[in-house]
Structure 1
Amino acid sequence: MSVLRYFVFGFAVCATLGWSLNQSAFAETDYPLTEDSIRQDGVPEGKVIGPIQWRSKIFPGTVRDYWIYVPQQYDPSQEACVFVVQDGLNRAKGWHLLPVLDNLIHKKEIPVQIGIFISPGGVPAANDQSQPRFNRSFEYDGLGDRYARFLVEEILPEVGKDYSLSDDPNDRAIAGASSGGICAFTVAWERPDQFRRVLSTIGTFVGLRGGDAYPVMIRKHEPKPIRVFLQDGSTDLNLYGGEWFVANQAMLSALKFAGYEVNHAWGDGGHNSKHAASIMPEALKWLWEGYPGEVSVGTTEGRRTDLLIPGEDWVEVSSGHRFTEGPAIDSDGNLYFTDIPNATIHKIDRSGNKSVFVKDSPGINGLMFGADQKLYGCQNGTKKIVRYTLDGEEEVVCEGYPCNDLVVLPNGVGFFTDPQNKKVWRFDAEGKVTLADEGIARPNGIIVSPDQSILTVADTDGRFTYSFTLDENTQLQNKQVYGHLHLEDQELKSGADGMAVDTEGRTYVTTRVGLQVLDQLGRVHFIIEKPQDAWLSNVVFGGENLDVLYATCGDKLYSRKIKATGVRPWEAAVKQPKPSL
C-alpha cells in the first residue's frame, strides 16, 4: 500500500469508527439522490486529471495528491471559476460531485469552473516500523492562514500554469466535509480576498484545535464578504471536542446574527456523506445564486455595539513612510504622527495639507497633546520625554528613561511606558519622574478613561490589558489584569499597542487580530479589521466631531468614520454612562 493510500485509508477507518461508536443504533432517513446527481444523456462529461503528487513547502515534508476536474465547456481563452474540495477525489465521489458539476454547468445553473480536489498531506514514515505523520487535523482543524497560504501560494499557481483560473474571490468556492468543512470556512474567513463561497458538510466546528471559537468571533468581528452553506445531521458525532450538530447550529446562529448570506440543510444523519450527497445540487446552486453578482458583506445592525457606518471603510491618508506610530490630535483638529525609523513627526492640517512638523527627533514614538497645547512625545532614541510648541520648538520634560507611549492629564501629570524594563513611569508638571508600576511583560500603549479615574496599560506580550485606579494625587492604585483580548491562533501574544477611548467608556486597542473594542468591564464587543496586513500600532479619534478613527498601520496612516465620539485625555473629564453588567 502506498504512503498516500495509507493516509486515505487511515482517515476512512477513523471516520467509520467514529460513526459506529456514536450512531450505530440509529436508523437514518433514506436520502435519495436527485436527477442532478446522476449522469444524464446528452450532458457533456468533464474529465478528471490526476492524481498529481505535490510536496509542500508551507507544510514541510508533506506529500499529497490532487486531482483537477475540467468541464467540457472550459475555454482556455476565458478565466474559469475555481472550486476547491478538501479530502481529494474520494470526497468528490462521495458527494457524486462529478455528475453534479457536469449537469449544473450544462444547464448553466452554475458557472464554468475548474475543480481542484486535494488530499490532506502527510510526512512519509521513516521505516516500516514507523507511522507517517498524519497532517489532516493540523491542516484542516487548525485556525489561522496556513492552509489558505498553501492554496494561494502553492496549489493555485501550479494549476494556473495549465489552466486559466480567475483570481477574483467572487469566482472562487471552497468546500469540505467534517474537518475539511471547517477548513473551507477558515480559508474564506482568513482570506476573503481569495475565496468567498463556502460549503461545509458535517463541519467540525468543535474544540479540536480551537474551531469552537468561531461562533464568538463571527459575532464580534467586522463582517466579511462570505457566503456559507452548512449541512449536518442530528445524530452527528458527540465526542470530547463537542457535539457537531450543536456546533453547526451555533455557527448558523452566529452567521445570521452578523448578517451573512447563509443557508443550511439539517437532517437526522450521522457523520457521513449521505445527506450531503442528496442536497449537493441545491447547495451548489444556492452557493452560486445571482452570479456574477458579488457576495454581500454582513451587517452590524442590531448589535449591542454597532460602530460601523455602511459605505465607510478605511481610507489611506498618508503613505511612503517606513513605520508609522503615535497619532495625536490638537484642539484645532490638526493631526500629527511619527515615522520612527525616519525620526520624523508629520502633520496633516484640517484641510488635508501635509507637512513635516519636526525632523531629527531620534526614535520618536508615542505622541499626545497636553493642556498647555504642546505636543508631548517619547523620544526613545535619546531616552527623553520631550514636548514641542506649535512652532516645532523642542523642550525636554525629563530624560534618562527608555520610553514608548504616553498619556498626559489636564493637571500636567503624565505616565509613560518602558517596555524594555517592564515599567510604567509617572512624571509631574515640573518633570519629576517616579516609578508608577513594574512587572507587566511588555507595557506599551497607555490611556486614561473618559472620567480620568482609571488608567489602562496594554501588554504587547500578553493577552490582557492592565487596569489601575487613580487616586486624588494622581497616583496609581489597585493594579489588576482586566481587559481580555482575542489572539491569533498561532500567537501567544496579543500584540496590543496603542489605545483610544470614546464617550461611552469603550477602549479601542490595536492588536494583531485587529482593532479590538472593549466595554468598561474589559470585554471585547467588536473587532474592526486592520486597514492592511501590517502592524497596527496606534489609534486616535479626530475629525470635526471626534468621530473619525486615525490608525497607524505599517508604512501608512488611515482614517475611518464610525458611530462613536472620542475623548481627548488632556481635556476636561467626561462622565461616562454606567455600563451594562
Structure 2
Amino acid sequence: MTDERSNAGNAGMSPEAWEEWFADKHITTEDRAAYADADDTWPEYSLGSNSRPREGVPAGSITVRQHTSSVAYPGIERDYRVYVPAQYDGSEPASLIVFLDGLEYLAGDFRANVVLDNLIAEGEIPLTLAVFIEAGKTGPGYPIFGGADNRSIEFDSIDDTWTRFLIEELLPDAVGELNVSTKPRDHVIVGFSSGGNASFTAAWHRPDFFGNVITHCGSFVDIRGGHNHAPQVRRNPRKPIRMWLQSGRRDARVVFGDLAIANQDMAAALEYRYYDHQFVFGEGGHTLRHGGSVFPRTIRWIWRDHQSATGTY
C-alpha cells in the first residue's frame, strides 16, 4: 500500500486532498478512517542536521530518466532518477542504493539525497550512487481498492518478476556506464509500504545481488502474498541479508491487515532465524516521517562495518 498522493512528501493532508485520493478507489468508510488516522499530522518526528543541506558540502547530481519494460512488464513505462555524488570520478567501484517510490524519498519528509551528500562528505558511509524508481504508470491498481497504475502488481507480488526486472532491465540502463560494485554487501534496496514488501522480495530472491534491505511501514500483509514472507523466513535457512525495519503504533490497519502487527511478526521471524536486523517501532503512522528522522542512523548501521566507512555508528 501507499499514500499514492501528489503531496505525499508533506506531513498531513487536508480533507480536500484526502477526498481527491479516495475519489477513484473503492475504499470503505472504515478504511478511509484508518488511513486518515495513520497520516502523521502529529509532530513526533522531525529531520536532524544530517538531513539538511550544509554549507561547504557539494550536492550530488540527479538526472531524470524514463524506462519502458520489454520483458517483465511489456510496454509499462515509468520514471526514475539517478543520483551521482559530487565525489564520484569513476576511479573506484561505488556502492548502490535503490529507492522504490523514489519521489517520496526525495521529498521533504526524507531528503535521501541530502543525507547521502552529508554522510558521503563526512566519510561515514561509502561512496554511493542511488537510483530512485517509480512504479509503472499503467496497470490494474490494487485488489479491492482499484486504481489505474501497476504498483500493486509490481510491489505486492512475491514471485521473482520484480526482482528480474530490476536486475536485468532497469538497473543496467540506470547505472550501466557507471563504475558500480558487484558485491551484494554494497547494494541496498529501500521501500515504503508496498515498496517495503517489494524490497524484501527482491533480496529474498536474489541475496547474491541485494545484501541489504531497509523497509518503512512494509506491507507484509494479505494483498498479493506479502503475509507469506514471515513464514518463509521461519521455514527456510537463513539467507545473507541484513535488514532494518521501521513501523509504528499508528501504522495502517485496513482490509488487507494490520501493518503494525505484520511488521512485528516479520521482525520476530528474522529474530527466530538469527538474521542481522534492527526493528525500530515508534509512535508514527503510515508515512515516512519516522523513517526519515532515523535514516542517517539507519544507513550508518547498514554499512557499519564497511571498509570504506569511518565506523561511526
The equivalent residue for 2:189 is: 174
- Which string of whole-angstrom CA distances, capped at 9 and with x for unpartnered residues, describes residues 30-83 of structure 1? 212111111111112111111x11000211121000000010111212111110
How far apart are 1:155 and its partner, in Å? Answer: 1.5
Q: Which has the larger radius of gyration?
A: 1
Q: In the alignment, which of 233, 236, 243 is matched to residue 248 of structure 2?
A: 233
Distance in 1, Cα, partners of 2:68 & 2:36: 38
Amino acid at match of 2:119: L
CA contact (8 A) 2:194 2:219 kept: yes
The equivalent residue for 2:269 is: 254
The equivalent residue for 2:33 is: 21
Aligned residue for 1:254, secondary structure, equals: helix
Residue 140 (1) aligns with residue 152 (2): no
How far apart are 1:160 and its partner, in Å? Answer: 3.0
Residue 92 (1) aligns with residue 132 (2): no
CA contact (8 A) 2:5 2:21 kept: no
- Which string of whole-angstrom CA distances, capped at 9 and with x for unpartnered residues, describes residues 326-370 of structure 1? xxxxxxxxxxxxxxxxxxxxxxxxxxxxxxxxxxxxxxxxxxxxx
Task: Pick closer, same or farther for the CA change 1:10–1:147 going to 2, 3 Å.
Answer: farther
Aligned residue for 1:207, secondary structure, equals: coil
Distance in 2, Cα, partners of 1:144 & 1:204: 15
Distance in 1, Cα, partners of 2:36 & 2:224: 27
Q: In the alignment, which of 238, 250, 255 is matched to residue 223 of structure 1?
A: 238
The equivalent residue for 2:202 is: 187
How far apart are 1:234 and its partner, in Å? Answer: 0.6
Aligned residue for 1:134, secondary structure, equals: coil
Residue 70 (1) aligns with residue 80 (2): no
CA contact (8 A) 2:101 2:134 kept: yes
Distance in 1, Cα, partners of 2:307 & 2:73: 34
The equivalent residue for 2:12 is: none
- Which string of whole-angstrom CA distances, capped at 9 and with x for unpartnered residues, describes residues 377-423 of structure 1? xxxxxxxxxxxxxxxxxxxxxxxxxxxxxxxxxxxxxxxxxxxxxxx
Aligned residue for 1:175, secondary structure, equals: strand
Residue 56 (1) aligns with residue 56 (2): no
Amino acid at match of 1:143: I
Task: Pick closer, same or farther for the CA change 1:245–1:154 going to 2, 3 Å.
Answer: same
Task: Pick closer, same or farther for the CA change 1:25–1:143 going to 2, 3 Å.
Answer: closer
Aligned residue for 2:250, secondary structure, equals: coil
How far apart are 1:108 and its partner, in Å? Answer: 1.1
How far apart are 1:238 and its partner, in Å? Answer: 0.7
Amino acid at match of 1:116: V
Distance in 1, Cα, partners of 2:152 & 2:8: 10
Residue 280 (1) aligns with residue 295 (2): yes
Distance in 1, Cα, partners of 2:306 & 2:95: 11
Residue 38 (1) aligns with residue 62 (2): no
Residue 289 (1) aligns with residue 301 (2): no
Residue 155 (1) aligns with residue 155 (2): no
Task: Pick closer, same or farther for the CA change 1:67–1:79 going to 2, 3 Å.
Answer: same
Distance in 2, Cα, partners of 1:100 & 1:286: 14
Task: Pick closer, same or farther for the CA change 1:8–1:270 going to 2, 3 Å.
Answer: closer
CA contact (8 A) 1:45 1:71 kept: yes
Distance in 2, Cα, partners of 1:165 & 1:154: 16
Alignment of 1:351-362 (within 5 A): none
- Which string of whole-angstrom CA distances, capped at 9 and with x for unpartnered residues, describes residues 284-335 of structure 1? 1111110149xxxxxxxxxxxxxxxxxxxxxxxxxxxxxxxxxxxxxxxxxx
Alignment of 1:222-371 (within 5 A): 222-292=237-307
The equivalent residue for 1:108 is: 123
Task: Pick closer, same or farther for the CA change 1:72–1:25 going to 2, 3 Å.
Answer: closer
CA contact (8 A) 1:65 1:88 kept: no
Alignment of 1:470-481 (within 5 A): none
CA contact (8 A) 1:231 1:266 kept: yes
RMSD: 2.6
Aligned residue for 1:268, secondary structure, equals: strand
Task: Pick closer, same or farther for the CA change 1:25–1:113 going to 2, 3 Å.
Answer: closer
Task: Pick closer, same or farther for the CA change 1:243–1:269 going to 2, 3 Å.
Answer: same
Amino acid at match of 1:277: G
Distance in 2, Cα, partners of 1:104 & 1:16: 35
- Larger relative helix fraction: 2
Task: After the TM superposition, list the runs of 4 or more consecutive aligned residues in structure 1 that deviate by more than 3 angstroms.
Answer: 7-20, 23-29
Amino acid at match of 1:22: A
CA contact (8 A) 1:219 1:258 kept: yes
Distance in 2, Cα, partners of 1:60 & 1:89: 23
Amino acid at match of 1:47: S
Distance in 1, Cα, partners of 2:119 & 2:263: 27
Aligned residue for 2:169, secondary structure, equals: helix
Task: Pick closer, same or farther for the CA change 1:200–1:124 going to 2, 3 Å.
Answer: closer
Amino acid at match of 1:35: S
How far apart are 1:264 and its partner, in Å? Answer: 1.8
Give the structure-1-normalised TM-score.
0.46
Aligned length: 281
Identity over aligned residues, as a percent? 36
How far apart are 1:10 and its partner, in Å? Answer: 11
Amino acid at match of 2:94: A
Aligned residue for 1:253, secondary structure, equals: helix
Amino acid at match of 2:177: D
Amino acid at match of 1:225: P
Task: Pick closer, same or farther for the CA change 1:10–1:283 going to 2, 3 Å.
Answer: closer
- Structure 1 residue runs of 5 or longer lacking an equivalent are 1-6, 126-130, 294-581
The equivalent residue for 2:143 is: none
Aligned residue for 2:284, secondary structure, equals: coil
Task: Pick closer, same or farther for the CA change 1:16–1:31 going to 2, 3 Å.
Answer: farther
Aligned residue for 1:123, secondary structure, equals: coil
Q: In the alignment, which of 73, 91, 94 is matched to residue 80 of structure 1?
A: 94
How far apart are 1:89 and its partner, in Å? Answer: 2.6
Higher relative CO (CA 8 A, sep ≥ 6), structure 1 or 2?
Answer: 2
CA contact (8 A) 1:202 1:236 kept: yes
Task: Pick closer, same or farther for the CA change 1:252–1:72 going to 2, 3 Å.
Answer: same
How far apart are 1:144 and its partner, in Å? Answer: 1.4
